[in-house]
Amino acid sequence: MTWDWSAIADFMPRFWDGVLITLQVLVLGSLISFTLGLVWAIAFRAPTRFIRWPVNLVTEFIRTTPLLVQLFFLYFVLPEWGVQFSALTTGTIAIGLHYSTYTAQVYRAGIEAVPPGQWEAATALSLPAHRTWIAVILPQAVRRITPALGNYVIAMLKDTPLLAAIGVLEMLQQSRLESASTFQYTEPLTLIGVAFVLIAYPASLLVRSLERRLVR
């Protein structure tokens, strides 16, 4: 078996389609996980334990169970409940939901790192709760946690191939389709493996330099 460059050339159009879908899932999934994670993190600090406990349990459950099974759960069970989404939408929601439980822990750590004096100052100025969060706490928390969030975006990138299992046409699924029609497994699979390293490594360098600049 020898390496065949023409197989790479044939795969290129499909490959770019796959890259676009992967990036689309990544961007939308990140947005979902960043917003939902913040919701979880604020709920962790709710004044009553009847909110805190269920939220802790649910996020712990989502975090410690496999994304793949969650993906199948959403893909097969939602239609049974009468909610019908495309595979791409289901996959993006699943990945965003899964990673929101990770970003929630990041937000929590960031919020806990804000000095208690800031909370007391907000109370002393009798700021309403939403003003305390938006104007005082979050601006100070977000600065510290940006690098950690970046790490989870990279982790999310490496989980996007799971979406191939429900037929989303991202990079892995494109290479499987290509292999199914040409019987060339080596070249497409190797190409997407290299593509992941080529995206992930510069991204992790970027996160590392952010970390050095923001967290002193």
Q: In this complex, which beta carbon is closest to other proteins, that of residue 5 or of residue 124?
A: 5
Does residue 53 bind other proteins (CB under 8 A)? yes
Q: In this complex, which beta carbon is closest to other proteins, that of residue 136 or of residue 191?
A: 191
Separation between Cα atoms, residue 162 and residue 3, nearest integer Å: 27
State in angstroms the smallest separation of the CB of 22 from other proteins: 10
Q: Tell me how many residues contact other proteins (CB under 8 A).
A: 60
State in angstroms the smallest separation of the CB of 190 from other proteins: 6
State in angstroms the smallest separation of the CB of 36 from other proteins: 16
Query: Residues 9, 39, 77, 206: which binds other proteins (CB under 8 A)?
Result: 77
Does residue 29 bind other proteins (CB under 8 A)? no
Structure tokens at 64: 């410690």
Sign of the CA dihedral 151, 153, 154, 158? positive
Residue 46 burial (CB count, 10 A):
12
Does residue 65 bind other proteins (CB under 8 A)? yes
3-state secondary structure the chain: CCCCHHHHHHHHHHHHHHHHHHHHHHHHHHHHHHHHHHHHHHHHCCCCHHHHHHHHHHHHHHHHCCHHHHHHHHHHHHHHCCCCCCHHHHHHHHHHHHHHHHHHHHHHHHHHCCCHHHHHHHHHCCCCHHHHHHHHHHHHHHHHHHHHHHHHHHHHHHHHHHHHHHCCCCHHHHHHHHHHHHCCCHHHHHHHHHHHHHHHHHHHHHHHHHHHHHCC
Does residue 9 bind other proteins (CB under 8 A)? no
Does residue 18 bind other proteins (CB under 8 A)? no
- Binders of other proteins among residues 128 to 147 (CB under 8 A) are 144-145, 147
Q: In this complex, which beta carbon is closest to other proteins, that of residue 122 or of residue 162?
A: 162
Q: In this complex, which beta carbon is closest to other proteins, that of residue 122 or of residue 207?
A: 207
State in angstroms the smallest separation of the CB of 106 from other proteins: 6
Structure tokens at 32: 């979902």
* Chain contacts with other proteins (rule: CB under 8 A): 1, 53, 56-57, 60-61, 63-70, 72-73, 76-77, 80-81, 102, 105-106, 108-110, 112-113, 144-145, 147-148, 151-152, 154-155, 157-162, 164-165, 172, 179, 185-186, 189-190, 192-193, 196-197, 200-201, 204, 207-208, 211
